[in-house]
Amino acid sequence: MQGGTSVGAGSFAYAGRAASADHPVRGTPSAAAPVPAGLVHRARSENVLIGGFEQLGEDEYAAELLDPPPGHYLVSGTGPTRSLGELMEGLRQFATLLGHEAREVAADGQFIVGSFDVRLDRPLRRGRRTVLRCCGLPTARRRGAGVMRFTVHGGPIIGEAAITGHVVSRRAYEHLRRMRPVGAR
């Protein structure tokens, strides 16, 4: 949703495969501090869902998916289970952060998501530590197009995700918005 208008649609199902024991993560609440709001293109810090960002290897990164504050619109009506929108927004924020921190995308560069592919073995619960990992970012290339692949950890690996998209300048982004307003199909 942007400005009260739906800008995308999709479906979701649990994959049901056995979880891997690789890269264990404790199932305790996160104590990670949120990253600066500007690095994930959020105007308000309460909308930041990524914290504990770290580089694990040459081209390997991790961040924790933080719980939104009580009453946040992403929490509404989902009980203790994270909504798909909550996970997708966390992935989008992590991808945006990686562009700035790992690929030197200018602060005004806009990440335009083309698609999400999310597969989980089980629901994600708030109040439990959830870590997103990315290995092998797309190489910097013209217009910053590419696919980012992630694993989702809630103890063992419990899922995978991929985001396709591209990075454009603020000027190009504003031009695109004028040509195709939010919600236009």
* d(C-alpha 92, C-alpha 86), whole Å: 10
**pLDDT at residue 182 in the model:** 61
37-179 homologous superfamily = Hotdog Thioesterase (3.10.129.10)
pLDDT digits (tens, 9 = 90+) for 18-38: 433 344 444 455 678 999 998
Task: Give residue 100's identity as a one-letter amino acid code.
Answer: H
pLDDT of residue 24: 41
Other C-beta atoms lying within 10 Å of the C-beta of residue 173: 16
Query: Measured at the alpha carbon of residue 25, what is the angle toward residues 130 and 15, in degrees to the nearest 5?
Result: 60
Judged against a pLDDT cut of 80, whether residue 155 lies above it is answered with yes
Yes or no: say if 166 and 144 are a contact pair by the CB < 8 Å rule. Answer: yes
For residue 116, is pLDDT > 60? yes
Contact 59, 136 (CB under 8 A): yes
State the pLDDT at residue 91: 94
CA quadruple 7, 119, 15, 75: dihedral sign: negative
Model confidence pLDDT, tens digit, residues 44-79: 999 999 999 999 988 899 999 999 988 888 887 778
Digit-coded pLDDT (tens) for 83-99:
888 999 999 999 999 88
